[in-house]
Amino acid sequence: MTEETPGFDEKPDVPSGATPDDAEPKAAPQEGAAPAGDASAQIAGLTAQLDQVRKALEERTADLQRLQAEFQNYRRRVERDRITVKEIAIANLLTELLPVLDDIGRAREHGELLGGFKSVAESLETVAAKMGLQQFGKEGEPFDPTIHEALMHSYAPDVTETTCVAILQPGYRFGERTIRPARVAVAEPQPGAQTVKAEDGSEAGDDKDNGPEEG
């Protein structure tokens, strides 16, 4: 006699009043699934954080641009000051050389610029010219009080304006800077000369207007 072993075909006892659906276990909710309201809140929070980061980035960028502009201005100011200091130093050096150049000019006028002294003098003048020293002042040019210094004054009938008739000491400039004005003798038109010329012109004009009388 064999014992009967309950098989898998046998159905478990179901309490009375329960439906088959109640007997099956319900599926557990999926882990990590957030409600729709929580997702919207997270997106809003991330958007706010992104706006803050973007605003901070814009502020840092503006600060960097401002610092860069200030640094560029500082570099330009330093370079400008450096050039100015250099020009002042060269101008001071050339000013100290002017008496030597005056002596060379006088020696040349008197024919005393000879031999080794001539070679040294010309070398000195060449170096001064390379450093930017320029000589100015010529006879016959109009008198300009900004670059000329009148040491002598006279009248002349052959000039129509105040004119430099003699250069007593040449002037020198370095770039746009006048190191020493040209010291000159000036001549002004003879008093009354223009009036006489005007009267002569009027008389000549009157004669021309009158013309010969017809016979």
pLDDT tens profile 94-134? 999 999 999 999 999 899 888 889 999 999 999 999 999 99
**Range ranked top by mean pLDDT from 10-14, 166-170, 199-203:** 166-170
Is 23 a member of any domain?
no
Across 30-39, 52-61, 137-146, 149-158, least confident range: 30-39
> Is pLDDT above 60 for 163?
yes
Are 166 and 145 members of one domain?
yes
pLDDT in tens, 68-89: 999 999 999 999 999 999 999 9
Are 127 and 138 members of one domain?
no
- Determine contact, residues 132/90, Cβ cutoff 8 Å: yes
Are 123 and 150 members of one domain?
no
Mean pLDDT of the chain: 81
Are 141 and 125 members of one domain?
no
Are 146 and 158 members of one domain?
yes
Are 51 and 127 members of one domain?
yes
Beta strands in the chain (DSSP E): 133-136, 148-156, 163-169, 171-174, 177-180, 182-189
pLDDT in tens, 46-71: 888 888 899 999 999 999 999 999 99
Tokens of 125: 């003048």
* pLDDT above 90 as % of the chain: 53
Are 47 and 120 members of one domain?
yes
CA dihedral 170, 174, 178, 180 (to 10 degrees): -40
Is 160 a member of any domain?
yes
Overall pTM surpassing 0.85 (yes/no)? no
Are 64 and 127 members of one domain?
yes
Is 105 a member of any domain?
yes
What is the domain-level CATH number for residue 195?
2.30.22.10
Range of the domain at 177: 133-203
Are 55 and 109 members of one domain?
yes
Burial class of residue 207, CB neighbours in 10 A (0-12, 13-18, 19+): exposed
Number of domains in the chain: 2
The string of DSSP letters for 35-53 reads PHHHHHHHHHHHHHHHHHH
Domain edge (last residue) among 80, 100, 131: 131
Are 105 and 146 members of one domain?
no
> Is pLDDT above 70 for 20?
no
Are 169 and 195 members of one domain?
yes
Domain edge (last residue) among 80, 102, 131: 131
Q: Please tell me the predicted confidence (pLDDT) of residue 201.
A: 53
Domain edge (last residue) among 80, 107, 131: 131
| 212 band by pLDDT with thresholds 50, 70 and 90 | very low
What value does the mean pLDDT take over residues 132-150? 94
Are 76 and 112 members of one domain?
yes
